Amino acid sequence: MISALCCFQGISIFCNRWKDVLLLRVVERTGKGIRTAPRDALISAYTTMEKSGKAFGIHRGMDTAGTVFCERIK
């Protein structure tokens, strides 16, 4: 979420009207919705029922770590 907000703030400087900001938010949220479901389906398809919690936890941890390290690089 933090990385999405930082990216959005960077792009939003080009917006002159509130409608432009709204359009960017809709596009960003739609893209997230399109990415999330297939990714979760792949994780659950390639893990056993006993290890699915661990797989989702590892994914979430890596996602958070990527956000933290990306913010440090900027």
How does pLDDT run across 37-59, given as a tens digit for each residue? 888 899 999 999 999 999 999 99
Task: Report the 10 Å Cβ neighbour count for 56.
Answer: 14
Tell me whether residue 71 is exposed, middle or buried, using C-beta atoms within 10 angstroms of its C-beta: 0 to 12, 13 to 18, 19 or more: exposed
Minimal CA–CA distance to 7: which of 67, 61, 69, 49?
67
Quote the number of domains for the chain. Answer: 1
State the pLDDT at residue 11: 65
User: Is the pLDDT assigned to residue 2 strictly greater than 60?
Assistant: no
pLDDT more than 70, % of the chain: 82
Q: Which domain holds residue 30?
A: 2-73
